[in-house]
A and B are shown apart, each in its own frame.
Chain A
């Protein structure tokens, strides 16, 4: 039995179809991320779950009950916003207490619960501060505590870390995940940062143009992207075109014939097919790596500290590969010929 069920919802603003036929079943206690580029409809789906926006089609069920038409204040769904949205006129304590006061909880119980929430986010010493007296990271933690205090059934977070600087972003996302695990609360987390989504989610929904392109565990999404879009959006997959020789898995890349690990279901002989290769699956000029190699030319090199990123031109496609830095390693020169070595089974067939 799924706890939160989003059943074929759609949303149009006038002629603009922003969300199309979006379905998702979420288990109790699951941490789901919506990942996608700007404007793909992540916020719109989230707002429909929160009840701020009414779907043009489809239904939303929470714990078996249809909540599609239920106003947001009766849904008992917690929400954390990108811009914190703390009440500027209230102290941290009053902000966290707001939902409890509205629900008519007794005063002493409110104090206990607020204390508990502030301890959860490690800000019990700032209970009397006002929002403008705190850093962005602190404010966002208070916003999280405020959303969690009335024990919501679902927690929604819309790019909660986007306004913070990189260091805080990493530590706070781990904190959010730890708190989510501790409370076992069903959570949807919106982000356009793939690393964020990969690092903290149980499952990721990759969205594009108002649709869910792929739904799966982070490792599935990363290792087996279902579509070209997912492949290019998640990680820095290298895309290369090949000509199908035999749909059972033989293709030609440039002049080299390669046997793939999987058959090509959607293409016939002579047709073009997109293949993807993860940057860590290839090696430049290291013959011991893999069973297949392709000739190429060095286009650029980037020294990134622990790794060196080499961009190659292989059969007319730009591909970049990382290798670990070693003190005695030599950066290849631009224009040098180079061989790309990899294992044929790491080549992924990707749908357009």
Chain B
């Protein structure tokens, strides 16, 4: 039996796509109109030429990257241990990891400021380094739900209990097992978690602004208030970056060990070709 044309489904897909793509296209078109009467990349040039742009972007990139490393170092051993030794605690850990989705970042950052403010026992906010550390820790917390999901899924695919026993029977210590067996096998999961973390924390506003950090998020907002065309250009670039992150995530998540990220093109002599 031949199926009829799925009219309703296609309509819904087109509508949803339009809802997403038309504003994006409008923003893009607007970003090209900085010079009156012609299409130009002047807005992009203005943004890329700005020192503040580069400074805030690199600050946020470094903060995000640190958050990724710290997050992975916390999440991977925790999930490993819980799955291996304390499976009954799993629901609790899962709940804790979801808390950042329930508690707004504003609450988190005010908590930080009270706990680590200038007249607290550990006055982190009085120094730049301390405040940066708070920001990074905040990013770790914000990205916890995503990092946790990604790594937990990654660990559910491999039989960590048996792999651990195999390593142990070959004489490996726990640390060695985690470093050379568990970590490499959840690497693609960590990388997907990392890209999610990156796309969340790169343009993050609330924490950075309330901690008064020179980050990319506050810069975006500031520009949005002061200028007309540059914010549109920034929005398009941020979009492109986020999409690039998603793409990388896909590539890493499906990569198998021993294969290249991109197929290698090389000349094969004819005799190697299958007959």
Contact = CB atoms under 8 A, between A and B. Distances in A.
Interface in A71-102: 71-79, 81, 83, 85-91, 98-99, 102
A79 B166 contact: yes
A78 B162 contact: no
B169 A72 contact: yes
Contact of B166 (A71, A87, A91, A103): A87
Interface stretch (B91-99, B171-179, B196-204): B171-179
Contact of A76 (B171, B172, B184, B187): B171
B257 A98 contact: no
Contacts of A147: 169-170
B258 interface: yes
B184 A89 contact: yes
Q: Most chain-B Cβ atoms within 10 A of its Cβ — which of A73, A75, A81?
A: A73
A90 B167 CA distance: 12
B159 A130 contact: no
Contacts of A50: 165, 169
A282 to B, nearest CB: 45
Contacts of A77: 169
Contacts of B257: 88-90, 130, 132
Tell me the interface secondary structure of chain B in the complex. helix
B162 A85 contact: yes
Q: Most chain-A Cβ atoms within 10 A of its Cβ — which of B159, B170, B172, B181?
A: B170
For this complex, into which size category does the number of interface residues on chain A fall?
20 to 34
B163 A87 contact: yes
Nearest to A100: B170
A11 interface: no
B165 A52 contact: yes
Nearest to B173: A73
A81 B163 CA distance: 10
Contacts of B187: 89
A146 interface: yes
Q: Most chain-A Cβ atoms within 10 A of its Cβ — which of B158, B166, B187, B257?
A: B166
B258 A103 contact: no
Contacts of B173: 73
B256 A132 contact: yes
A150 B171 contact: yes
A101 to B, nearest CB: 9
B27 interface: no
A102 B169 contact: no
A147 B184 CA distance: 21
Interface in A99-118: 99, 102-103
Given A83-B159, A89-B257, A98 B170 contact: yes
Contacts of A83: 159, 162
B99 to A, nearest CB: 32
Nearest to A72: B168
Contact of B172 (A73, A79, A130, A133): A73
Nearest to B165: A52
B169 A98 contact: no
Q: Most chain-B Cβ atoms within 10 A of its Cβ — which of A74, A98, A103?
A: A98
A52 B164 CA distance: 10
B185 interface: yes
A46 to B, nearest CB: 11
A114 B152 CA distance: 34
Given A88-B158, A88-B185, A89-B257, A99 B163 contact: no
Nearest to A74: B171
Nearest to A78: B169
Interface string A163-175: 0000000000000
B165 A102 contact: no
Q: Most chain-B Cβ atoms within 10 A of its Cβ — which of A51, A52, A76, A102?
A: A102
Contacts of B176: 102
Contacts of A98: 167, 170, 172, 180
B59 to A, nearest CB: 34
B170 A130 contact: no
Nearest to B258: A130
Nearest to B183: A89
Contacts of B167: 87, 98
B275 to A, nearest CB: 21
A270 to B, nearest CB: 55
A85 B164 CA distance: 9
B176 to A, nearest CB: 6
Interface of A: 50-52, 71-79, 81, 83, 85-91, 98-99, 102-103, 130, 132-133, 146-147, 150
Given A52-B165, A87-B185, 20 more contacts: A50-B165, A51-B168, A72-B168, A73-B168, A73-B172, A74-B171, A76-B171, A77-B169, A81-B162, A85-B162, A87-B166, A87-B167, A87-B181, A90-B257, A98-B167, A102-B170, A102-B172, A102-B176, A130-B257, A147-B169
Interface of B: 158-159, 162-163, 165-173, 176, 180-181, 184-185, 187, 256-258
26 contacts: A50-B169, A52-B165, A72-B168, A73-B168, A73-B171, A74-B171, A75-B169, A77-B169, A81-B165, A81-B166, A85-B166, A86-B166, A87-B163, A87-B167, A87-B185, A88-B185, A88-B257, A89-B257, A98-B180, A99-B170, A102-B171, A130-B256, A130-B257, A130-B258, A146-B170, A150-B170
